[in-house]
Amino acid sequence: MTSRYAPHPPLSAAVFAILLSLAEGEKHGYRIIKDSRTRQGGNLRLGPGTLYGSIDRMMRDRLVEESGTPGNGRRRYYRLTGHGRAALGAELERLDSVIASARSLGLLAPATPT
């Protein structure tokens, strides 16, 4: 399957979890950490160092941007950029292709209809 997005290398688990969390809308760091611990976020335990180090790199790569400090100004909020949304879409397509390959090899049970 060819991605309709610009080519992106596979994302690290931390970057993927952060992008997935921000796909719902802007969030502060603690909320991103909580999201990453859920099944949908990959059951990943992000610590503050990993989170903010990843966010700094993601901001340099223009995947996310700071969106301000609403309320009391203590929390910094982040959101996806267009480039970040494209990278997330490309990664989801890549993972979908990997899952389809694993199913065709009999390594995973067929998908159940929802």
Structure tokens at 26: 């802007």
Q: What is the pLDDT of residue 53?
A: 96
Q: Report the number of secondary-structure helices (H) and strands (E) in the chain.
A: 4, 3
Of 13, 21, 6, 14, the C-alpha closest to 80 is 21
CA pair distance 15, 29, nearest whole angstrom? 13
Mean of the per-residue pLDDT values of the chain: 87
**CATH level 3 topology of 13-104:** Arc Repressor Mutant, subunit A (1.10.10)
Of 36, 2, 31, 34, the C-alpha closest to 16 is 36
The 10s digit of each residue's pLDDT in 40-51 is 777 889 999 999
CA pair distance 23, 36, nearest whole angstrom? 13
The answer to whether residue 74 scores a pLDDT higher than 60 is: yes
3-state DSSP percent of the chain in helix, strand and coil, to 5: 45, 10, 45
